[in-house]
Amino acid sequence: MDLPGYHPQQPQPHDSRPESEENCPVCGDRVSGYHYGLLTCESCKGFFKRSVQNNKHYTCADQQSCPVNLSQRKRCPSCRFQKCLAVGMKREAVRADRMRGGRNKFGPLYRRDRQMKQRRMYNQEQTAPNRIKTEPAQTHCPHAPRRGLTPPSLPYPALYHCTLPGYPQEKGGIHSSCSSAPANYAGHSTQNHPFTPRSTPASSPCSTPSSSTAFSQAFSQVPAASPLATVTPSFLGQLLEGEQDESQLCAKVLASLQREQANRGKHDRLNTFSIMCKMADQTLFGLVEWARNSSLFKELKIEVSTILSQAGATLSSLVSRTQDLVSKFKALQLDRHEFVCLKYLVLFNPDVKSVQSRRQVEQTQEKVNRALMEHTQQCHSGQSDKFGQLLLRLPEVRSISLQVEEYLYQRHLLGDLPCNSLLSEMLHTKHN
DNA sequence: CTAGCCTTGAAA
DNA sequence: TTTCAAGGCTAG
């Protein structure tokens, strides 16, 4: 999209404007200005406009996690549109009356955003004056067209890993990691079902041959007290309220499992699957508690939803998919703020049929989304398009969780699941 | 259908 | 008057 002879008002090639480091959060192409809520490229602007104006309903032929980047953005309009929404493009900015020109209510938002970026650039100049003056914030090779710098649209998120100390790693022993990431991708419109106050979330117990990693390692990049500076500190702070200390949580689960195992006789030891169920159960408890204690979630009125899922998942594919997901999250070096934002994005799903205050959910989702975007841009400006990459993993999180649910339900039908657990209650609720 | 370029018009 | 984010047009 080099535009010979065309000089959009804002960006110029290899320019020195404040947003020169910006790439379209949807596809990575060069931004041409603010469109429908945020800085995007011309093509995503046009695509979003057409989609909304013509009330398009796309369907993904794959798993709703297609890469959306400069070279592949045409391939799956469904995933592209979902990503447009996920990064914060606003349907309501497309005019129903098709009136041209003028300004809309987002004007002030754009202005604030610009000011924020300028402040950020100013701050960077204070710390690295030479670099900023001479080159754009990103490493743009003068010979490489910017289009070539499309951020990888492949994903990476992070979950946490833990081993069960004291349990053998050999075959038949325990290779466990636990994931407390909940399950439903907030941005998709299919059968989603975040848990209801007395219903349940789907969680992902998984088995991973991990080394001695504690899951706090996954949060290696930014310490708990990261420099939030101007990134909507109050809202992010609100999100972090009630967030449990992950390492303590893990230690608690491990301790309880060890206690139980120690109390059992030599021939009465829990097998791997039972341990996984218990871990899932405790993780679920933690999630339910977390959601119930969340002030944002308390404001919602939700009725119990029911979901039917199909059987057919296999443990091995589940394990490998989860391993992939976990390693991608680890590679991304998710920090606590990002993790809690992702959890909220999953929890606040406006597509759940039984949610009464849909608008409220949408607004919260947008707010969290924005907080996440600002945080990643500000605290991880070195990681190109970390925000987009994080969002891209959500469909996979959701997909894995559905697979886990299906698998567990099958085991449940076979009578393999421990009774009287939250896990079995969850499966029961969902399948009735 | 896509995306590059053009026109429009309210707000600054 | 200028700005710039809307919508429109159209070649590919």
As a whole number, mean pLDDT of residues A35-63 equals: 94
Nearest nucleotide to A40 (CA to C1') is: C5
Please check the confidence at residue A85 and state whether its pLDDT lies above 70. Answer: yes
Q: How many CB atoms lie within 10 A of CB A334?
A: 28
**Mean of pLDDT over chain A:** 65
* Ligand-binding site membership of A312 (annotated): yes
**pLDDT score at A429:** 66
Does A87 or A163 have the greater pLDDT score?
A: A87
Domains in chain A with CATH codes: 238-299+311-431 (1.10.565.10)
Please check the confidence at residue A113 and state whether its pLDDT lies above 70. Answer: yes
| Region class of A84: left (phi > 0), else alpha (psi between -120 and 50), else beta | alpha
Please check the confidence at residue A227 and state whether its pLDDT lies above 60. Answer: no
**pLDDT score at A1:** 35
Does A176 or A280 have the greater pLDDT score?
A: A280
Does A148 or A321 have the greater pLDDT score?
A: A321
- Residue A43: pLDDT band by 50, 70, 90 thresholds? very high
Write the pLDDT tens digit of every residue in A230-259: 455 677 777 777 676 666 667 777 777 777
- Distance in Å from B11's C1' to A25's CA comes to 27
Give the residue with minimal CA–C1' separation from C7: A100
Read off the tokens for A299: 């404001």
Residue A235 Cβ < 7 Å to strand C: no
**pLDDT score at A118:** 75
Read off the tokens for A225: 């007290």
| Region class of A5: left (phi > 0), else alpha (psi between -120 and 50), else beta | left
Return chain A residues 236..295 having CB < 7 Å to nucleic acid strand C: none
* DSSP 8-state secondary structure symbol assigned to residue A147: G
- Distance in Å from B3's C1' to A70's CA comes to 12
**pLDDT score at A99:** 92
Give the residue with minimal CA–C1' separation from C4: A9
The C-alpha atoms of residue A107 and residue A127 are separated, in whole angstroms, by: 31
Of A198, A132, A248, the closest CA to residue A432 belongs to A198
Give the residue with minimal CA–C1' separation from B8: A101
Question: Tokens 């053998």 sit at which residue?
Answer: A168
- Distance in Å from B5's C1' to A40's CA comes to 16
- Residue A351: pLDDT band by 50, 70, 90 thresholds? low
Q: Which span out of A136-150, A215-229, A266-280 was modeled with the highest average pLDDT?
A: A266-280
Question: Tokens 């990459």 sit at which residue?
Answer: A389
Write the pLDDT tens digit of every residue in A96-110: 999 999 988 898 889
The C-alpha atoms of residue A193 and residue A182 are separated, in whole angstroms, by: 11
* Ligand-binding site membership of A322 (annotated): no
Question: Tokens 């996954």 sit at which residue?
Answer: A218
**CA-based radius of gyration for chain A:** 23
As a whole number, mean pLDDT of residues A215-219 equals: 33
Read off the tokens for A174: 């325990």
Q: Which span out of A139-148, A298-307, A395-404 was modeled with the highest average pLDDT?
A: A395-404
**pLDDT score at A233:** 62
Please check the confidence at residue A65 and state whether its pLDDT lies above 50. Answer: yes
Write the pLDDT tens digit of every residue in A250-308: 777 777 777 766 766 666 666 666 677 777 777 776 776 677 677 777 666 544 433 23
| Region class of A308: left (phi > 0), else alpha (psi between -120 and 50), else beta | beta
Give the residue with minimal CA–C1' separation from C2: A9
Please check the confidence at residue A19 and state whether its pLDDT lies above 90. Answer: no
Residue A120 Cβ < 7 Å to strand C: no
Phi, psi dihedrals of residue A231, rounded to the nearest 5°: -75, 90
Q: How many CB atoms lie within 10 A of CB A72?
A: 15
Residue A50 Cβ < 7 Å to strand B: yes
As a whole number, mean pLDDT of residues A10-28 equals: 58
Please check the confidence at residue A124 and state whether its pLDDT lies above 80. Answer: no
The C-alpha atoms of residue A361 and residue A427 are separated, in whole angstroms, by: 25
Q: How many CB atoms lie within 10 A of CB A331?
A: 14
Nearest nucleotide to A34 (CA to C1') is: C5
**pLDDT score at A137:** 32
**pLDDT score at A78:** 93
This model's pTM is above 0.85: no
Nearest nucleotide to A50 (CA to C1') is: B1
Q: How many CB atoms lie within 10 A of CB A38?
A: 23
Residue A107 Cβ < 7 Å to strand B: yes
Helices (H) and strands (E) in chain A, counts: 13, 4
Nearest nucleotide to A53 (CA to C1') is: C7
Residue A11 Cβ < 7 Å to strand C: no
CA A301 to chain centre: 24
**pLDDT score at A381:** 76
- Distance in Å from B1's C1' to A50's CA comes to 10
Nearest nucleotide to A96 (CA to C1') is: C7
Say what percent of chain A tops pLDDT 90. 15
- Residue A114: pLDDT band by 50, 70, 90 thresholds? confident
* Ligand-binding site membership of A232 (annotated): no
Residue A9 Cβ < 7 Å to strand C: yes
- Residue A80: pLDDT band by 50, 70, 90 thresholds? very high
Instruction: Sort strands A204-207 and A33-35 into parallel, antiparallel or unpaired.
Output: unpaired
Please check the confidence at residue A75 and state whether its pLDDT lies above 70. Answer: yes
Q: What residue type is assigned to position A399 of the chain?
A: S
Please check the confidence at residue A162 and state whether its pLDDT lies above 50. Answer: no
Say what percent of chain A tops pLDDT 70. 50
* DSSP 8-state secondary structure symbol assigned to residue A4: T
As a whole number, mean pLDDT of residues A27-47 equals: 95
Nearest nucleotide to A99 (CA to C1') is: C7
Exposure string of A209-225, with b = 16+ CB inside 10 Å and e = fewer, is ebeebbbbbbbebbeee
Q: What separation, in Å, do the N-terminal and C-terminal C-alpha atoms of chain A show? A: 53
**pLDDT score at A74:** 95
